Amino acid sequence: MSLLKISGLSLLWCCHCLFALDEISKDRNVVTGDGDGFEALVNDYFDESARLSPVWATGIGDHRYDASIDDVSEQGRERRRQLQLDLLQRIEILSRGRLSRAEQVDLAILRHHLKTSVWRHDILQEWAWNPLRYSGLAGDAVYGLMAREFAPLPDRLRSATSRLLQLPALLKQARSVLIPSRVPRAHAETAIGQNRGILAIIKNTIQPHRSALKPKDRGDLTGAIEVARQAVEEHQQWLENHLLPRAAGNYRLGATLYDQKLEQTLQSPLTRQQIKERGKKQIRALHDRMFDIARNVYLKRFPYTQFPRRPSRAYKKSIIRACLELACQDRPSAEGVVAAANESVRLTRQFLSENDIVTLPEDPMEIIVMPEFRRGVSLAYCDSPGPLEKGLKTFYAVSPPPASWTEEQVASHLREYNRRSLHNLTIHEAMPGHFVQLAHANRSPRRIRSVLGSGTFVEGWAVYSEWMMCEEGFLKDDPLMRLVVLKWYLRDVTNALLDQAIHVDGIEKQEAMRLMMEDAFQEEREADGKWRRAQLTSAQLSTYFVGYLEHVDLRSEVEAEWDGHFVLKEYHDQLLSFGSIAIKYVRALMLDSSIPK
């Protein structure tokens, strides 16, 4: 991913009941429990959160507030914060010992989410310095209504009319709470690029369907479109002429904030220093593994080559780079990326079906060009429908090279995302990565787990899927595919080091580019984009590496526990049936150990 967008996917499929019953039976090993107070708490969380955050509600599949939009003023923020504090108070007086194991896990997830939300409001205060929160909210307010057919088109268009009329107030509130001196320049520049993407959503998803409305409603929509257009243009002028010249914030979090956010994001016992130490060891080990593969590839092309008995690290990297160049040469055109991704989906789906590795959902999935208002952070993402939805599409979104790029920059981008890399990207985002994992997760009968997913579990599963597919024999006769997969894992390790190096150690761009291009073999466009992404985000880039380590460790534990009865498909299906929850909770449920508090 991947831009982390885990709204989840809830579609009907053949194994739903089996997974639900399996999970419930495992979660009830201790006590059935008296969960009336807990269930009321969960209901209140969803009901009140939906009322106060209508765009979020639409995203998870609760359509009671589709005609409303969020209040991002100080008063609106305070109402959401007070709800979180009230719910936390109710959690503290709830008798945990009377809850079932399933409820204990859900309670721990909800408590963590609420405490993190309060910390983000009170301490991190992104509402004051991150304009991307508001461009994303404004875009999702419209896109979330039109992207999927969850209701008849006229109903969705009438809701869109209402939200378009409220866009001026939303953007005005955003301007009133953002403090330009605290906004980092990178965030301001990215917001400028995303803001007009809202107009593209209106043009592409709303205007072509106006004829579906009766004359009066059509006239109302036409007027609302003009109101929204003027509001977006006014906001664009403010971003360019007021915010950007005054944007003087520091994008680096610093050690204290970063460590707090890292702990909250990962929910892992690994500290920043431990991640750094393990990452450095992994880089050396990966270089050795990649050299072993590359040496054989090189010898096939140049059979009389004599390698030194003890090749230096620089020598190993030069051979690896020479063989990666072969993969870079096999790449699609800029116009052919979506078609190449479709072919990757076909190949990976076929392999999974033939090898019985995990139960595949029958859910619809479509590869699309990434909407403009979401560009500028990552190349691709998996956009699943809300966990409360039934039978709707998942979008595997791929961003095209920006029109402003030179031919050299486009070539760099396509070299990075050559055909083998697109296979790996598809494994990560779709088969059996995010698409398959979220489809399983959203069958969980427990709403908390579907909606409040762990990014470390989700991204870790996707990275684990990449190498697992290789181990199971995907394109097993192609050593360059294995080399590319290892390069991607090397990138995940490097990203975790880059994340803390930028936000804590103060690394500058030149050294960051060297780390990515020399140690991780990334192309210039990929490295430049990751430098920008690491400025715009924090802690998220560490979820891939840490999540992978936790998935590998868990599988080893389960293999030992199941002894000679380990079956990969059964393991994967059970693992995914618990929802997108932190590995520590999955471990407790799969191995029947105590539930972490």
Q: Got the DSSP string for 502-521?
A: IIII---HHHHHHIIIIIS-
Would you say residue 224 lies in a domain? Answer: yes
Number of domains in the chain: 1
Beta bridge partners of 193: none
The pLDDT of residue 7 is 34
The pLDDT of 367-378, averaged and rounded, is 75
In the structure encoding, which two tokens stand for residue 286, read together? Answer: 């990966």
How far apart CA 380 and CA 449 sit, in angstroms, is 24
Give the percent of the chain with pLDDT over 90: 84
Residue 23 pLDDT exceeds 60: no
The Cα 253–Cα 123 span in angstroms is: 11
The reply to whether 358 falls in a domain is no
Residue 29 has pLDDT above 60, yes or no: no
pTM: 0.91
What are the Cα distances from residue 372, in Å, to 97, 128, 198, 401? 49, 24, 8, 12
Cβ proximity of 379 and 525 under 8 Å: no
Q: What is the pLDDT of residues 98-150, one digit of tens each?
A: 999 999 999 999 999 999 999 999 999 999 999 999 999 999 999 999 999 99
Confidence category of residue 205, pLDDT binned at 50, 70, 90 = very high
Task: Determine, yes or no, domain membership for 365.
Answer: no
In a domain? residue 407: no
C-beta pairs of 465-468 under 8 Å, 24+ apart in sequence: 465/427, 465/428, 465/432, 465/433, 466/424, 466/427, 466/428, 466/433, 468/357
Interacting residues of 39 by C-beta distance below 8 A, sequence separation 6+: none
> What angle do helix axes 419-429 and 479-500 make, rounded to 10 degrees?
60
Residue 560 lies in a domain: no
Residue 380 lies in a domain: no
Residue 174 has pLDDT above 80, yes or no: yes
CA distance 73 to 51: 15
Neighbour count for residue 556 (Cβ, 10 Å): 10
Q: Which helix (H) or strand (E) holds 318?
A: helix 313-329
pLDDT category at 377 given cuts 50, 70, 90 is low
Residue 173 is part of which domain span? 31-99+132-177+185-248
DSSP per-residue codes, 124-171: I-HHHH-THHHHHHHHHHHHHHHSS-SS-HHHHHHHHHHHHHHHHHHH
- Give start and end residues of each alpha helix (H) in 32-146: 36-52, 54-60, 74-92, 101-119, 126-129, 132-146
Going by pLDDT thresholds of 50, 70 and 90, the confidence category of residue 62 is very high
Dump the DSSP string for 545-565: HHHHHHHHHHHHHHHHHHGGG
pLDDT surpassing 80 at residue 31: no
Asked if residue 525 is part of any domain, the answer here is: no
In angstroms, what CA-CA distances link 46 with 54, 67, 109, 144? 11, 18, 14, 18
The answer to whether residue 25 sits within a structural domain is no
SS3 184: strand
Q: In angstroms, rounded to a whole number, what is the distance separating the alpha carbons of residues 146 and 157?
A: 8
Residues comprising the chain, all counted? 597
